[in-house]
Structure 1
Amino acid sequence: MNQPLMTATSEIGVLPSHAIASLIATGAITATQPIPDEQIQPASLDLRLGAVAHRVRASFLPGTATVADRIADFAMHEISLENGAVLEKGCVYLVPLMESLNLPATIDAVANAKSSTGRLDLFTRLITDQGVEFDRIDAGYTGPLWAEISPRSFSVLVRPGLRLNQIRFRHGQAMLDDDALSALHSATRLVDGPAHIDGGLGFSVDLRLGAGPVGYRAKPHTALIDLDRLNHYPVDAFWEEVHATDGRIILDPGAFYILVSREAVHVPPDYAAEMAPYLAMVGEFRVHYAGFFDPGFGNTDAGGAGSRGVLEVRCHEAPFALEHGQIVGRLVYEKMQQRPQKLYGADMNSNYQGQGLKLSKHFKT
């Protein structure tokens, strides 16, 4: 990158883009192909699919073994991605990523699906050797990275280099407690309405958007989606509109929905955020599969005043009545080690800055 390289300091916080570039330069992050500048986000690094996919009969965590060793227990067949390959709805695949890690002993990491991945109901998690949790990487980890991919609503066509998930690096415990979050909201408003702060910043669902739909529900039997085709697919071939009655919709078990938060969300430039699922006892559904909010999301100076949070919702055991304004999730904020040199939005040509109800970038607008 055309900027001074910086090593990770002892300061607590999420590493910004220029510190990630330093990890690459010093060999803490390596890859089978050079890592281009655009792969580095304000507070995370996009990860790229490798050349093969392993169809497996079940998801697993390797525990005391390596992922490669455990694949032998679960593999069904291997698929080359070189000329494009279909990952079929309802199946589970493991794909080695181009990137590997050799982290310093003071740096840990967390992964999450990218926004477009989650909006396609493309369930994607990171796995490491000897891993006992998905999407969590211990400080000092050395070894390869793997993506577990399970298409839930649509079969997809993928190729090497495709970016489905991302990784965020941290030094120490950077999460703000409720007192610090309340103080931050007082200093620079984090939502445009009342702030419900309890284990993070609560947000609610908007089911009164006006004359149009309040959301979309994935159709059960659709054509294939080529993940390299952007602004290409007609919405009505893959989604049906969801309309509310008196500010209420009924979620069907097993169905996948795209909804939107009632609140406009703001992530100040010196902070990062992650969407966390709300407590299970509030209803038989799960909100979110993609969860990183970069510094600058919803920031007025970065072109994002009024950015809503898109909610990826799946209902579980029983039909559930979802009401307008019901709190369905929370944002956990973390302090950045330093302000990134580029912010989400105007600096990055970001796809979802200033968004309202919005499907993934693969569908025609």
Structure 2
Amino acid sequence: MTFDILKAGILPCQSIETLIATGAITSQTPFDADQVQPASLDLRLSDRAWRVRASFLPGQRLVADRIADVSMHPIDLSGGYVLEKGCVYIAELQERLSLPKGLIARANPKSSTGRVDVFVRLLTDRGASFDDVAEGYEGPLYMEIAPQTFSILVRPGTRLNQLRLKAGEPPKLETRSVGVDLRGGDIVGFRGRRHAGVVDLENIDGHDPRDYWEPLTLRRGELLLDPGEFYILASSDEVEIPVDQAAEMTPIDPSVGEFRVHYAGFFDPGFGTDEAHGAGSKGVLEVRTHDTPFLLEHGQIVARLVYEPLTERPTRLYGEGGSHYQRQGLKLSKHFKVWG
């Protein structure tokens, strides 16, 4: 099967819906009405998972065979299950791919996943790298899940990552540097509390942020990052994604900073734009330090935003119909009540 396109680029929502209608993307259960985003598809947990003793790449083997090598015990998610921080899990996803010739795919954590410091990566059979799906791939999808700061409660249908599909080799239209805002207000960021309770990922606006986060106050436009801690910060500039483009935030060269930024990197068309009725959206930065304390200064470049074209304008834009993150400033994930 081939997929006819007019040009190379990221597939918009209507093309993803065509792939679903033609059987290139299938699921164990009916797709949710809001599962297709403007330029990506949310992926959902099934009821099967495993606690594993080590992360792995399949190499030339099936994921199921590699799970058998490293599994500690199987897990039934059907009644809800707490994934403990500091542990590694593999979960089978409900969706399955049969990609037409000319299409590849790439996965990334959803914004809400990154903001609660849950590290997730997509696995495919015989995959040589995490998160990348090869042209013509036919088979199941799995996810590695590693909660870092908070333990999380998940169920079948919980969405932790999303899939972006690409036709051909779209050009990189623009790369913008992203700085950090350490002068934006009395609170410039949040640091995760080490011994907080469980975050129920289906309980929206249901958690008191004070039980999970420590606010960071303004101090001369700089912030000392402690090793092993997790921070939520905001970009110094507003982010806008044109309606015919999508973007991915990528880390900078580690030689210029002892930290990792932005687990969740996809920005959909219309984010922060006038046309999507949401001008003035900051990029929220998920920051984790490595082994060395690091002094971060206001405006310091911490990431890059890479823009790519869509094959055509999407029929829906980011924020249409409501979003927790359109017109955002410094903001925690949707699971927490507004700080104040």
Q: Same fold (TM over 0.5)?
A: yes
Pick one of 284, 297, 302 that aligns with 1:323: 297
- Could you tell me the TM-score, scaled by structure 1's length? 0.91
1:332 alignment partner in structure 2: 306
Cα distance in 2 for partners of 1:118, 1:348 equals 23
Q: Say whether 1:207 aligns with 2:182.
A: yes
Tell me the CA shift for residue 348 of structure 1. Answer: 3.4
Distance change >3 Å, CA 50–CA 8, structure 1 → 2: farther
Query: 2: CA distance between counterparts of 1:353 and 1:209?
Result: 18
The alignment covers a number of residue pairs equal to 337
The yes-or-no answer on 1:34 pairing with 2:8 is no
Residue 354 of structure 1 is matched in structure 2 by 327
Aligned partners of 2:109 and 2:161 also within 8 Å: yes
Letter in structure 1 aligned against 2:255:
M
Q: What amino acid is aligned across from residue 162 of structure 1 in structure 2?
A: T
> Deviations along 1:238-290, whole A, 9 cap, x unmatched?
00011232100100000000000010011000000000011101110010100
1:270-318 CA-partner distances (Å, limit 9, x unpaired): 0000000111011100101001000000111212111000000000021
Distance, in Å, in 2 between the alignment partners of 1:204 and 1:259 is 10
Give, in whole Å, the separation in 1 of the partners of 2:6 and 2:327: 34
1:358 is displaced (CA, Å) by: 0.2
Cα distance in structure 2, aligned partners of 1:88 and 1:36: 27
Q: Distance in 2 between matches of 1:134 and 1:304?
A: 33
Distance 2:323 2:171 in 1: 25
2:255 matches 1:281: yes
Q: 1:103-114 alignment to 2 at 5 Å?
A: 103-114=99-110
**Which secondary structure does the structure 2 equivalent of 1:169 belong to?**
strand
**1:174 and 1:213 mapped to 2: Cα distance?**
39
Confirm whether residue 97 of structure 1 aligns to residue 93 of structure 2: yes
Q: Give the structure with the higher percent helix.
A: 1
The alignment yields a C-alpha RMSD, in angstroms, of 1.1
Query: Contact between 1:306 and 1:355, CA under 8 Å: does it hold in 2?
Result: yes
| 2:69 maps to 1:69 | no
Q: Residue 165 and residue 8 in structure 1: after superposition, are their counterparts in 2 closer, same or farther (change >3 A)?
A: farther
Does residue 49 of structure 1 match 2:45? Answer: yes
SS at 2:275 equivalent: helix
Contact 1:47 1:166 in 2 (8 A): yes
| Correspondences of 1:213-252 after superposition (within 5 Å) | 213-252=187-226
**Aligned equivalents of 2:143, 2:321: Cα separation in 1:** 25
Aligned-partner Cα distance in 2 for 1:207–1:30: 45
Does the aligned pair in 2 maintain the 1:257–1:314 contact within 8 Å? yes
Gapped runs of 5+ residues in structure 2? none
Q: How much does 1:350 deviate?
A: 1.6
In the superposition, relative to structure 1, how do residues 146 and 8 fare at CA in structure 2: closer, same or farther (>3 Å)? farther
For the 8 Å contact 1:8–1:19, the answer to whether it is kept is: no
Distance 1:321 1:40 in 2: 40
After TM superposition, the runs of 4+ consecutive aligned structure 1 residues lying more than 6 A away are: none
1:302-351: CA deviations, max 9, x gaps?
Answer: 12111000000000021000000101101010100000000001x23121
Quote the offset at 1:10 in angstroms.
Answer: 4.6
Aligned to 2:285: 311
Matches of 2:239 and 2:279, distance apart in 1:
8
Is 1:297 matched with 2:260?
no
Choose the corresponding residue for 1:174, options 170, 173, 180. Answer: 170
SS of alignment partner, residue 48 of structure 1: strand
**Residues 356 and 29 of structure 1, relative CA distance in 2, 3 Å threshold:** same
- Which residue identity lines up with residue 73 of structure 1 in the other structure? D
1:207·1:324 contact (CA, 8 Å) conserved in 2?
yes
The one-letter amino acid of 2:335's match is: H
Letter of the 1:270 counterpart = D
Question: Quick one: which amino acid aligns to residue 273 of structure 1?
Answer: A
Question: 1:265 maps to what in 2?
Answer: 239
**Structure 2 residue matching 1:22: 3-state secondary structure:** helix
Deviations along 1:4-41, one digit per CA (max 9) or x if unpaired, are xxx54152110000000000011110111111231000
Counterpart for residue 11 of structure 2: 15
Distance in 2 between the 1:33 and 1:362 partners?
25
CA shift for structure 1 position 175: 3.4
Query: Residue deviations 1:65-119, cap 9 Å, x none?
Result: 0000001110000111111011000000000000000001100000000000000
**Paired amino acid for 1:245:** R
Paired residue type of 1:246: R
